[in-house]
Amino acid sequence: MPSVLAIAAHPDDIEFTMAGTLLQLARRGWELHYVNLCDGSRGSTTLDRSECAITRLAEAKQACEVLGATFYGPIFPDMEATYSFGNLAKVTAIVRQAKPLIVLTQSPSDYMEDHEVACRLAVSAAFSIGMPNLVSDPPVQASYDPVTVYHTQPVGNRTPLGELVVPHFYVDHTDLIDQKEAALARHACQKEWLDQSQGMDSYLKTMRDASAEIGSMSGRFEYAEGWRKHLHWGFCGPNDDPLRAALADVIVEAT
């Protein structure tokens, strides 16, 4: 059974931008793996850091269960995401354990640093899984199977400087939007935080609106997620494109 690993920064990032694609893969028999690298501990105006971390960990595990995925725990607090060898060794261990044919991660250019660092760590970990001289934390045997990396859309479909980001292709999840929302709804403590910090009147509606915007960009789907394929050098074969191959019947290419 092929596997896919979603790597994001914060609890709820996967549900906002990747869950529809994960659910489409699960429908086709893929094994799902799920990790948020940040613990979510600073994402509250009412809970202290310890309470927030405990609450968000429990919510992330519930959301992961809705998706039917294998859960891996966070490795650093919010806003302490850094690209370091220590963190790379930890993410490499997760990738080696999951043995994914596909890694889904965030955009290299996004509105906040945690997202960009999570992306960098995901890409480097996918690259380094076949390096036996790179000892992961904890130690996991190196793997030499190909891994293809795909980047989801940045928040608002734009870079931090406002340039529009157009995906390479779009994945339809119109008939899975309710299940995607059910997974996101498990992150209940985020409603107040997102209302106050980012002006999201309802984070569930915000997710639907974002999925609808990408669907409109596709020119075909009501709700969609957009993806860009990372260059193959050092990761997989030049013609490897397992996400497109697996979901060919629910994909439209960007024009």
pLDDT of 147-199, one tens digit each?
999 999 999 999 999 999 999 999 999 999 999 999 999 998 876 666 655 55
Q: Report pLDDT digits (tens) over 59-72.
A: 999 999 999 999 99
pLDDT score of 192? 67
Three-state DSSP class for 34?
A: strand
Which helix (DSSP H) or strand (DSSP E) does residue 21 occupy? helix 19-27
pLDDT score of 47? 87
pLDDT score of 102? 99
Extract the residue ranges of the chain whose pLDDT is less than 50: none
108 burial type by CB count under 10 A (0-12 exposed, 13-18 middle, 19+ buried) = middle
Residue showing tokens 């996918």: 126
Three-state DSSP class for 4?
A: strand
Domain 3-253 sits in CATH at 3.40.50.10320
Handedness of CA 220, 239, 27, 227 (dihedral sign): negative
pLDDT score of 193? 62
Q: Where are the domains of the chain?
A: 3-253
Three-state DSSP class for 238?
A: coil
The pLDDT > 70 percentage for the chain reads 96
pLDDT score of 203? 84
- CB neighbours of 15 closer than 8 A, spacing ≥ 6? 63, 180, 183, 184, 186, 187, 207
pLDDT score of 210? 97
